[in-house]
Amino acid sequence: MGRMGGDARQMGGVWIPMLVAVFLGLDPAGGVAQSAPITGDDVLNAVRLSGGDEERPRIDGRVDEAFWDRVPPVSDFRQQNPAEADPATERTEVRVAYDDEGLYVAVLAFDERPGRVVSRLMQRDRILEADPFGQSGLRDAGDDVFAILLDPFHDHRNGVIFATNPNGAEFEALITDEGSSINIDWRGVWEVAGTRTPDGWSAEFSIPWRTLRYPDATGDEPWGINFFRVIRSKNEQVYWRSWEREGGGLQRVSRAGHMRGLRDLPRPGLNVEAKPYALVGRAQERNDADVVGTVSDRAVGLDLKSEVLPGLLLDLTLNTDFAQVEVDDAQVNLTRFNLFFPEKRDFFLENSGIFDFGIPGNPLETPAYQMFFSRQIGISEDGEVPIVGGARLTGRVGAQTVGFMSVVTDQVPDGPGFDAVEQELFSVARVKRDVGESNYIGAMIVDRRGDGATNSSVGFDGQYLLGQAWVWDAFVARSFTDGQGGDGTAYRVGYQYSGEVWGSFFNHFGIDEEAEASAGFITRGDYRSTELYSGRTWRPSAMGLREFQFFLGGKYASTMSDNRMQDWQVGFFTTPTWRSGDNISVFANVAETVVDEAFDLSDEVEVPVGRYENSQVGWFGGSSRARPLSVDVNGFVSQFYGGSLVTAGLTATAALSSRFQLAPGFTRNVVDVPSGGFTADLTSLRASFSFSTRLFANALVQYNSLDGDVSTNVRLNFIHRPGSDLFLVFTENRSDAINGWVLSDRGLVTKLTYLMRF
């Protein structure tokens, strides 16, 4: 591929149409994948309402409207845990109706002990969370929960989730490729209300058709649908369909049930959403001359959204602003590589799973390779870079999932504490073609170009599901850069097997020394790694255990250029989980690592070139979140560059009421190496108060002792109408100096958004 470099650098404007022509030419109207035949046991029938006011639910959580009596319920829920395939111990009835405005779902969640129903959360987007290790899709955060999965295109791969708890807290998420990506930051426009009842609790959902993207229908085309309930007092998870432990769960869209009865669904006319914003703010900042200056900020901007074809969304943004985004969690970098911070900005979060290409990370390690990482856009080493505007086209076209995005960032001149940044254009093109029931082949192109500098990457990937538990992934990518270097290859092949009893994962990847992804993220180049772990799960009845996992394996890594050893480890990890929901994971490794270039751990501690033992013992886990006070712990003891590293951390979450939660945290890192030692502490305090499900405040205070920095972020969010917000955000950063805590910067911003639908 080396000879392609010169030509490929000139093809940035041609790649996207070529990609579209190749993939959409493979039957662009083509059929969605077909799964197992639709049977009566798997079918829910939705009932059309008359559309009059007398037959439209009052979204108050009380399923007391007369018309619900003529809507047939589904109630045959089965357990995934604790007793797989057994009927749920508590009855759940779900009814689905619709009219010309939207889809309505009513749920009656019976409980023989209604006083033990748990509902401590009221704030949106908190009742469920993505499994950080990607094993179980979504997991509950400690409350009783009811969730809906909808697959409007019936493609058995992608879906949308809506969930609530007895307080009516809102949660929504996008599922891509059966859980290979779960976007819990997507935000739709819908309503829900929940309430406790003498028999348990109930909820009502109202989901407008404008929020649900669906194909043109000529008749009674089925949708995929599934339901999930958490009975928190029993730590019981039940599903309507896809309840199997092996290859089951809400994210397994291909194993969902089917909804029939949807006829004559409306198609909006102009079908445009406009969300303008207005912002006013005031900021103080200390410059290089140690003088605090004050500046005012006023801005307006606009986001537009249109469904250009059924299921294909066009988003436009102008003078984009992210003032309301929560600050990053503080981290201490005790490695020679860059830290990885997750994306939190709204424009880049919606449908972000479409642009996933590379090797995912987890809480224990950063991603080894990501061809596209949206935080490269509008964020430099010195701070925020203004975004002039951008466009994004994402969704489904026949049997293809497509995503195209271009964003322009503005130039920033030299200034106090800020190096000059040239205007840049970031472009991404992504296409994935359905193959069979749950597989795909795909391609992606990423291009970043500025003042005479260009870096591009092109890659091909695929995913193949073998049975219900084997998932194989592979990709190959090549980068092309103007000037010397930057032309390199990255590749990966791996699998994950998640059976009921046996489990295994394998990961082999390589990244050339010259591989470059200036619009992505690479932890290290000239690196080839092979990792394999296998293990077993037991489900004993002794000591209150629900399950006990034990995995054994190892890793070997070397340079790509001359095959020199870089890292190796052999070890195990084990995870007992109790019926109460308490869990702890313990791991131990015998390991070595090689340092080829000296680096600094701190201003006064250097790690020289050498080969070092890197064996370690560690743990992480926590108590059940169903308790009013829960605790998460983590830590490890490691041989560390000729010395030692001891880390211990604890976070306590106190649910003082359904409105008020407090979560203090503390982590200590003690480093002792031949060239010196130091202690690095991270202290944090999170507080959240929900005045209602529409008005809530969050505060985060963090202190990093290694940098001597303390940061404060307070955000007030009022959802004044669905999809429209008022934000009040206060931020302050201070540094520990000889004469006390010195102000670095401080700001107060008010931002108003207003959603209009045409």
- Give the model confidence (pLDDT) of 227-236 as tens digits: 999 999 999 9
Chain CA centroid to CA 61, Å: 29
- Residue 266: per-residue pLDDT: 85
Residue 604: what pLDDT?
Answer: 86
Is the pLDDT higher at 743 or at 716?
A: 716
93 alpha carbon, distance to own chain's centre: 30
Residue 27 has pLDDT above 70, yes or no: no
Inside any domain, residue 27: no
18 three-class SS: helix
User: What is the pLDDT confidence band of residue 597, given thresholds at 50, 70 and 90?
Assistant: very high
User: How does pLDDT run across 156-215, given as a tens digit for each residue?
Assistant: 888 999 999 999 999 999 888 888 778 887 888 999 999 999 999 999 999 999 888 888
The first and second tokens of residue 505, run together, are 């994962």
**Structure-token match 């009221």, residue found:** 122
Residue 70 within a domain: yes
pLDDT band at residue 718, thresholds of 50, 70 and 90? very high
Predicted confidence (pLDDT) at residue 458 exceeds the cutoff of 60: yes
Summarised one tens digit per residue, pLDDT across range 137-152 is 788 888 999 999 999 9
Whether residue 490 is contained in a domain is answered as no
Can you say how many angstroms the Cα of residue 392 is from the centroid of all Cα atoms in its chain?
A: 19
d(CA 723, CA 475): 37
> Taking residues 385-396, what's their average pLDDT?
91
CB atoms within 10 A of CB 477: 25
Closest CA to 123 of 518, 701, 689, 570: 689
Q: Does residue 6 have a pLDDT over 60?
A: no
Q: What is the pTM of this model?
A: 0.85
Cα-flanking dihedrals φ and ψ of residue 178, to 5°?
A: 55, 40
Range in 123-132, 162-171, 474-483, 563-572 with the lowest mean pLDDT: 123-132
293: Cβ–Cβ under 8 A, 6 or more apart, which residues?
284, 285, 286, 287
Q: 381, exposed or middle or buried, with CB in 10 Å at 0-12, 13-18, 19+?
A: exposed
Query: What is the structure's pLDDT at 417?
Result: 67
Answer with the residue of higher pLDDT: 625 or 290.
Answer: 625
The per-residue pLDDT for 653 is: 94
Length of the chain: 758
Checking if the pLDDT of 37 tops 90, the result is: no
Structure tokens belonging to residue 542: 């002794």
What mean pLDDT comes out for the span 448-456?
Answer: 88
Residue-range definition of the domain harbouring residue 190: 38-260
Residue 12 φ then ψ, to 5°: -55, -40
Asked whether residue 376 carries a pLDDT value surpassing 60, the answer given is yes
Q: Which of 230-234, 343-347, 353-357 has the lowest mean pLDDT?
A: 343-347
Does residue 527 belong to any structural domain of this protein? no
What average pLDDT score do residues 579-599 get? 94
pLDDT band, very low/low/confident/very high, at 663 (cuts 50, 70, 90): very high
Distance CA 481, CA 515 (A): 9
Q: 500 pLDDT exceeds 80?
A: yes
pLDDT for position 20: 41
> What are the backbone dihedrals phi and psi of residue 81, each rounded to the nearest 5 degrees, phi first?
-140, 140
pLDDT for the residue 271: 80
151 within domain boundaries: yes
Residue with tokens 């934000």: 727
pLDDT at 8: 36
How would residue 453 be classed by pLDDT, with cut points 50, 70 and 90?
Answer: confident
Which residues, 6+ apart, have CB-to-CB distance to 89 below 8 Å?
A: 79, 231, 234, 236
Predicted confidence band of residue 739 (pLDDT cuts 50, 70, 90): low
Give the model's pLDDT for residue 10.
38
Confidence of residue 334 (pLDDT cuts 50, 70, 90): confident
Peptide bond just before 82 cis, omega within 30 deg: yes
Above 70 in pLDDT, residue 4? no
275 DSSP β-pair partners:
303
Q: What is the pLDDT of residue 40?
A: 66
Distances (CA, A) of 437 to 254, 311, 351, 471, 473: 7, 19, 21, 13, 16
Pairing of strands 740-753, 272-286: antiparallel
Sequential DSSP letters for 88-157: PSS-EEEEEEE-SSEEEEEEEEE-SSGGG------STT-SEEE-TTSSSSEEE-SS-EEEEEEETT--SS
Largest Cα separation within the chain, whole Å, is 78
Check if the beta carbon of residue 254 is closer than 8 Å to that of residue 226: no
Residue 346 lies in a domain: no
Backbone angles phi, psi at 16, to 5 degrees: -60, -55
Q: Which of 59-63, 180-184, 532-536, 698-702 has the lowest mean pLDDT?
A: 180-184
Closest CA to 465 of 501, 437, 431: 437
Give 283-302 pLDDT, tens digit per residue: 888 776 677 778 888 999 99
The pLDDT value recorded for residue 24 is 41
Here the CATH number for the domain that contains residue 160 is 2.60.40.1190
What does the alpha-carbon distance between residue 466 and residue 439 come to, in Å, rounded to a whole number? 9
Give dist(CA 638, CA 397) in Å, integer: 51
Residue 618 covered by a domain: no
Distance of CA 576 to the CA centre of its chain: 26
Are 355 and 375 in contact, with CB atoms under 8 Å apart? no
On average, the pLDDT of the chain sits at 88
Summarize the confidence of residues 295-316 as an average pLDDT.
89
Q: Does a structural domain hold residue 59? A: yes
Average pLDDT over residues 560-576: 96
Q: How many domains in the chain?
A: 1
> What is the β-pairing status of strands 379-380 and 236-239?
unpaired
Residue whose structure tokens are 């520990």: 736
Token code pair at residue 81: 């845990």
Q: Are 631 and 590 in contact (CB under 8 A)?
A: no
Q: Could you tell me which residues come within 8 angstroms of residue 249 by beta carbon, excluding any fewer than 6 positions away?
A: 80, 136, 137, 138, 179, 239, 242
636 confidence band (pLDDT: 50, 70, 90): very high
Q: What is the pLDDT of residue 289?
A: 63
3-state SS class at 114 = helix
pLDDT level of residue 35 (50, 70, 90 thresholds): very low
